[in-house]
Amino acid sequence: MRTEVDAQLRGPEATRLELMAAISRLQPDRAEWWYFVVTHGRFMLRLYNSEASEYLMIATYYANYLGGPTDWSSPALQFTISPHDIDDSEVQWLVRDEGADFTMKCGHLYWGQNVAWNKPMSESPFAAWADPSRGCTMDFDVAVEELSFHCGTNPNVDDPRWNAGFLQTLRPYHGRLDADAFQRVVDCVDAVSRHLQDAPHLDRRVINALWGLCHFARDWGLHPDGMLRRNNLITDQEQATLAGWIDDLSARIAMILDGNGT
């Protein structure tokens, strides 16, 4: 049976309409940051009607941008949904209050009204969806091996996976960024996330691969003296896309290591 959270996850447009209707009924006179971590991986915004003592919580485990005041009066939030930059099966939320200059960009967004959210986020109604390994079918050892191909450390250069590795798509560069290769890297990160969060000692191979992927992709593709920019092989738009990928990947890894999911 579907839970409320499951329905919100699978129907973002319906969630947006229901959320806006709930806000309209609530008529909040105050908005405040209720919970967040420095990495902004987990965030709650509370909308409050002081006369009725009613409130509504908006939560995400996937915030990648957060800015503006931490509390303000007369909130007037607008919600926009667009396809994800990398995976068009996922969506991105843009939450704005122009009058307050508040902005949040995130992945999955959930909400609830008058729910007891004084518990840790790990015990909240949405905790099951915070696990970055949710739905991941890749085995840890397979993911480690795949990462070794993506970062170019695997010695088996005759394996087809070597040339299909993410860093190898940048060197030599064939005139286009490979979104599929990057998504495979993200899938590997999800597969090793439980290890990164819970293991008392981290696997050196995983850290080496992830560090190398972020470092060399930035060094080769974005640095002014890197081979792609130095030889005029990459366009400004491709640089912006690659920078976004690297930022998203490094932020994802940082939040997992911090214990916050993605």
For residues 85 and 92, the answer to whether their CB atoms sit within 8 Å is yes
Task: Tell me, yes or no, whether 118 and 11 share the same domain.
Answer: yes
Given this model, what pLDDT does residue 106 score?
A: 85
pLDDT digits (tens, 9 = 90+) for 123-143: 554 454 445 555 566 889 999
- Per the structure, the complete domain to which residue 193 belongs is given by 140-257
Say if residues 167 and 217 touch (Cβ distance below 8 Å).
yes
Quote the CA–CA distance of 2 and 25 in Å, as a whole number: 25
pLDDT at residue 129, rounded to an integer? 44
Of 82, 109, 129, the position where a domain reaches its end is: 129
Q: Phi first, then psi: what are they for 214, rounded to 5°?
A: -70, -45
Position 133 scores a pLDDT of: 55
The Cα–Cα gap between 157 and 47 comes to 55
Average pLDDT over residues 41-70: 86
| 98 domain-assigned | yes
Residue that is last in its domain, among 63, 95, 129: 129
Residues 170, 94 within the same domain: no
Q: Which is more confidently placed, 99 or 52?
A: 99
9 and 122 fall within a common domain: yes
pLDDT-above-70 percentage for the chain: 82
Q: Are residues 125 and 144 in the same domain?
A: no
Among 109, 129, 149, which residue terminates a domain?
129
CA distance 57 to 115: 8
- How many other C-beta atoms can be found within 10 angstroms of the C-beta atom of residue 51? 8
Pairing state between β 54-60 and 63-67: unpaired
pTM: 0.57
- Residue 3 binned pLDDT confidence (cut-offs 50, 70, 90): very low
Residues 206, 94: one domain? Answer: no
How many folded domains does the chain comprise?
2
Q: What's the pLDDT score for residue 2? A: 35
Same domain, 112 and 218: no
Share of residues in the chain with pLDDT > 90 (%): 50
* Same domain flag for 86 and 160: no
Shared domain check, 228 and 148: yes
Judge contact between 84 and 92, C-beta under 8 A: yes
**Which pLDDT does position 1 carry in this prediction?**
29
| Residue 262 domain flag | no
Residues 198 and 231 in one domain: yes
